[in-house]
Amino acid sequence: MTSENSVRPELGDVVVGVDGSPSAHTAVLWAAAEADRRGRRLRLVHAADTDRRAYWSNAETMQAVREAGRDLLIRTAEAVHERHPDLAVTRELGRKEAVSGLREAAGDRGTIVVGNRGLGGFSALMLGSVGLGVAARAEVPVVVVRGEDDRPRTGSVTAAVREPADLDWLLLAAAEADARKAALRIVSVWNVLTHVGSVATMLDDLDAIARRRVHETKDLADRVREVYPQLIVGHHVETGTSTPGILTEASAHTDLLVMGRGRRPLGVGPSLGRVAHALIHHAHCPVEIIPAAFVSREEEP
């Protein structure tokens, strides 16, 4: 997407991981509401990991794992149907481990939703690893559901931006806000500590950097308004010394916090920066991370 030919992006199907934990159940209900807003399909995925289990488990154990997974998917689909009777729902018992299974189910256009905790004990640590693994490695948007599920709605979606190139994924955040009939808040954090100590940094230099950040953030907001003229769009620059801290505080006053995920240098390996990592663990609301690879595919004709 570029400023000259930006169009409203389409939000795809919603894929959610199911493991029987309370956190996953909360994520399923969030994902169901999201799919309903989008008018898209909800895909329930239970990663049974049977391909790997087959190396050390007997046939009876494998059959029990499959049956337990099928029962869990059926119960989960029934819970979704009670709240969203007209929603199209599919159930998928995956043979792969969770990260690979969810990525495969999402394809090129889906959005993956995961909970932030597992079944307790070591399983909780493993699901935390799943959430981090999916967020770092998926090439589609990933939502980690956090916060209290009964928290009063604020009617806003917050997008954490850093630079003009963020317009690419910012339009997806705008699409989220539009689907919710919510306002979009664009927040840019100017952390002065990132500039202190650089070559010959002077107060005048810092003032110019701050003014440029304000101008860039306003320009992003104006470009979103061009594509979504009916959407209420606000923007501001926050100044502080802790970007994760400022965004965590902002997450207490919004329904969804959205941010982009860049590529690692030379484009090698998964990438999940310290800010995204901190928000996945500490945000007060669901966090959506949109990778650069997904935006690049959206630009293709």
Look at residue 121 in the predicted model and tell me its pLDDT: 43
CA dihedral 106, 277, 254, 127 (to 10 degrees): 50
How far CA 227 is from CA of 6, 9, 12, 24, in Å, comes to 7, 10, 19, 35
In 147-225, where do the E strands start and end?
156-161, 183-191
Q: Which tokens hold the place of 181? A: 């009939």
Which SS3 state, helix, strand or coil, does residue 240 take? strand
What span, in angstroms and rounded, lies between the C-alpha atoms of 73 and 67? 10
Distance CA(273)–CA(189), nearest Å, equals 15
Give the largest CA-CA distance in the chain.
72
How far is Cα 156 from Cα 93, in angstroms, rounded to an integer? 35
pLDDT one-digit tens code per residue, 228-237: 999 999 999 9
| Contact (CB, 8 A) for 145 and 26 | yes
Q: Which residues pair with 16 in a beta bridge?
A: 44, 113
Looking at residue 73, its pLDDT comes to: 96
Residue 126 has pLDDT above 50, yes or no: no
pLDDT of 122 > 50? The answer is no
pLDDT of 4 > 60? The answer is no
**Residues 165-183: tens digit of each pLDDT:** 999 899 999 999 999 999 9
Residue type, 255: D
Question: Bigger pLDDT: 278 or 158?
Answer: 158
* Spatial separation of the C-alpha atoms in residues 45 and 101, rounded to whole Å: 8
CB 113 within 8 A of CB 16: yes
The DSSP output letter for 81 is: H
Tokens matching residue 106: 């999402």
Q: According to the model, what pLDDT value does residue 1 have? A: 43
- Using one digit for the tens of pLDDT, what is the confidence trace for 32-47? 999 999 999 999 999 8
CA-based R_g, the chain, Å: 20
Which residue shows structure tokens 């979103």?
224
Of 54-63, 86-95, 195-204, where does the model show the most confidence? 86-95
Q: pLDDT-derived band of residue 250, with 50, 70 and 90 as boundaries?
A: very high
CA 217 to the chain's CA centroid: 21
The phi and psi torsions of 45 (rounded to 5 degrees) equal -125, 125
200: pLDDT strictly greater than 70:
no
Q: What is the mean pLDDT of residues 279-301?
A: 82
Binning pLDDT at 50, 70 and 90, where does residue 90 land?
very high
Q: What is the mean pLDDT of residues 111-126?
A: 63
Could you report how far apart the first and last alpha carbons of the chain are, in Å? 10
pLDDT at 94 over 50: yes
Strand partners, 173: none
Task: Determine contact, residues 245/191, Cβ cutoff 8 Å.
Answer: no
Query: pLDDT tens digits, residue range 44-72?
Result: 999 888 777 767 778 888 788 889 999 99
User: Which candidate, 95, 44, 94, 51, places its Cα nearest to that of 74?
Assistant: 44
Residue 301 predicted with pLDDT over 70: no
